[in-house]
Amino acid sequence: MELHYKIENSEDTHRPWLVFVNGLFAGLQSWDESVVHFLEDFRILRYDGRGQGESPRPVAAYSLKDLVSDLKELLDNLDIEKATFIGLSNGGRVALEFATLYPERVRALVASDTYHEPSPLLQLKLKSWLHANRKGGPTHRFDVATPWIWGETIIQQRPELLDFYRERAGLEKVHVIEGLIEGAMENHVIDLKKVKCPTLLTVGREDLLTPPFMHERMVKKLEKGLLKTVPGGHASLLEYPLTLKNTVLPWLQETLNIAPALGGRPATLVRESV
């Protein structure tokens, strides 16, 4: 499957790769406010998974296995042998599963507001989204999901952010939303003990979908895990992009032994393709 992707610092071969993995219904543009914090230290790959952004929308096949396979194929096609990953929500789940299957290709991993198995309560939450999508379409699904996704603070401070994502949600195809939700609900347990790389879990303190206590259980299973509670709800990294600068970037610099850059930000070369 030919996925839409975008690369920053494409010619800076001395810089390590950093791959952003989108949340379930987000596109690569959801990281627009975030990538700026990493340009001095990394070559950056963002991509739209199947059913996201400008990538294909098959009628079926949105399982975790499919999403991980797509990621591997994209990395292979771009000759990216090893990278660091930042994944949000289902994107964190994709990155964690990728790390269990291909540990030699993962330098470090950041998984935010995510889960490694769909608990009965989480499945009930997701099932309500599925019913809403079937009953009233994509916008109704968004309205039902909103209280589980966004933190109360950000809704008060940046209502335009909610309006932006609601408008985009209304344009999506019903079968895509159904496929993605069913994939997120599938009864698959990621074996976190197989994740051998340094792993930072972050969770929004207002996250109701995958609350902090779930991440506390997850970090105990990780060989090299660390947990940070950050501002926001389930979409914490999108709600508060400065978390990436103030929490994630320093951890990556220390973990990967990257000296913080000094001086101005260099020019950035961008490549975009499908």
Structure tokens at 15: 């810089």
**pLDDT at residue 60 above 90?**
no
Mean pLDDT within 235-262: 93
Choices 3.90.79.10, 3.40.50.1820, 3.40.50.1000, 3.40.640.10: CATH for 5-116+189-273: 3.40.50.1820
Mean pLDDT within 246-266: 82
Dihedral angle, C-alpha 121, 117, 169, 38, nearest 10 °: 130
- Give pLDDT, residue 264: 45
Share of the chain above pLDDT 70, in %: 95
Mean pLDDT within 142-149: 95
* Three-class secondary structure of residue 160 per DSSP: helix
**pLDDT at residue 78 above 70?**
yes
Task: Write out pLDDT tens, residues 106-137.
Answer: 999 999 999 999 999 999 999 999 999 999 99
**pLDDT at residue 23 above 50?**
yes
Q: What is the mean pLDDT of the chain?
A: 94
**pLDDT at residue 24 above 90?**
yes
**pLDDT at residue 263 above 70?**
no
- Give pLDDT, residue 262: 56
Contacts of 106 by beta carbon, 8 Å cutoff, 6+ apart: 82, 83, 84, 85, 95, 98, 99, 197
Domain locations in the chain as residue ranges: 5-116+189-273
- Give pLDDT, residue 267: 45
C-alpha to C-alpha distance for 228 and 233, rounded to whole angstroms: 14
C-alpha to C-alpha distance for 239 and 153, rounded to whole angstroms: 9
Pair 252, 108: CB distance under 8 Å? yes
* pTM given for the model: 0.93
C-alpha to C-alpha distance for 203 and 228, rounded to whole angstroms: 7
Structure tokens at 76: 């292979």
- Give pLDDT, residue 273: 63
- Give pLDDT, residue 261: 63
Pair 225, 202: CB distance under 8 Å? no
Contacts of 26 by beta carbon, 8 Å cutoff, 6+ apart: 52, 88, 91, 238
